[in-house]
A and B are shown apart, each in its own frame.
Chain A
Amino acid sequence: MFTVIGLMLGGMGIGFLLRKRQLPRIHGIITALIWVLLFLLGIEVGDNKQIIEGLATLGVEALTLTIAAVLGSCLTAWLLWKILYKRKGDET
């Protein structure tokens, strides 16, 4: 499970060592790999009857989680905003 994170940290180290050299194609490769992985996820989902039949329910669950996540993070952001800018002006 931690192989993946190790690889990312290794990549960061190598990227940092190579920072004098531009890696122009890296973003294209990342995009292509994301496409492949989501295509594979799609295949697993399409192949799985339970998921296809429950897609509406999954959508409602996803929406509920998202609204909660957005509201929760906005509340904590509001809290920080109040703490930081209560007395001072509104300049950052």
Chain B
Amino acid sequence: MKGSLIIVGFFALGCICGLFHAIPFDIEKTDISFYTLCALMFCVGLSIGNDPQTLKNFRRLNPRLVFLPIMTIIGTLSATALVSLLLPHRSAPECMAVGAGFGYYSLSSIFITEYKGPELGTIALLSNILREIITLLCAPLLVRWFGNLAPISAGGATTADTTLPVITQCAGQQFAVVSIFHGFVTDFSVPFLVTFFCSI
């Protein structure tokens, strides 16, 4: 939670700097954010490849539960595509790109800003932060209404770290491995799916 607050803090600080033109040159005309994004993705790749624990964990996974991340992706994308009908000035791929952040707000908002501009990027940031918050707050209700796998699907890409404690508390300790696996797979899908929906 503290990490999320710091991130929102940096975003807010940026908004204030932009509002008062505190930065002497035009950021949008430079490639700073693109190169920073490249550096970030390289580091994300490094950290995934470097972690031997992830592979070890997956050997203990119930094979039938490998479908859970796929269900999350299908459910999220079809629901956001449907909602695009309610939002007349947003196209279905734009809504699906926001949904395809799966709660990974830092990365998805950065990608969407890069490809679709800051307006949709802001929606992606807000929407994906909300997804994490809703999961943290509503996990017990989701278990009661939709079964033990629901908070894992709701948590999207965050279920390997930030929402893992609340998931194991509400759904049970035996769901920790599938939660980590699910978080890892959806996390990994974010750059691919977001790029895909931004390019169509």
Contact = CB atoms under 8 A, between A and B. Distances in A.
A15 B152 CA distance: 28
Interface string A30-52: 11011111111111111110111
Given A38-B7, A66-B134, A4 B41 contact: yes
Contacts of B162: none
Interface string B40-80: 11111111111110000000001011011001101111111
Interface in A15-67: 15-19, 22-23, 26-27, 29-31, 33-48, 50-52, 54-55, 58-59, 61-67
Query: Interface range on chain A: under 10, 10 to 19, 20 to 34, or 35 or more?
Result: 35 or more
What's the dominant secondary structure at chain A's contact region?
A: helix
A33 B40 contact: yes
Given A4-B38, A33-B36, A40-B14, A74 B146 contact: yes
Contacts of A75: 75, 79, 146
Interface string B11-43: 111111111110100011000110011111111
A72 B79 contact: yes
Interface string A57-86: 011011111111111111111111110110
Nearest to B131: A66
B39 A33 contact: yes
A87 to B, nearest CB: 13
B118 A41 contact: yes
Contact of B150 (A42, A66, A77): A77
B44 A11 contact: yes
Query: Interface range on chain B: under 10, 10 to 19, 20 to 34, or 35 or more?
Result: 35 or more
Nearest to A52: B19
A37 B119 CA distance: 15
A42 B76 contact: no
Give me the 4 closest cross-chain CB pairs, A-B, nearest first.
A42-B14, A46-B18, A11-B45, A72-B79
Given A54-B119, A79-B71, 8 more contacts: A4-B41, A40-B27, A42-B12, A61-B127, A66-B134, A73-B71, A76-B72, A80-B68
21 contacts: A4-B41, A4-B111, A7-B45, A12-B46, A19-B52, A37-B106, A38-B7, A39-B17, A40-B32, A41-B33, A41-B118, A42-B15, A43-B14, A47-B28, A52-B19, A58-B126, A70-B134, A73-B79, A76-B75, A77-B146, A77-B149
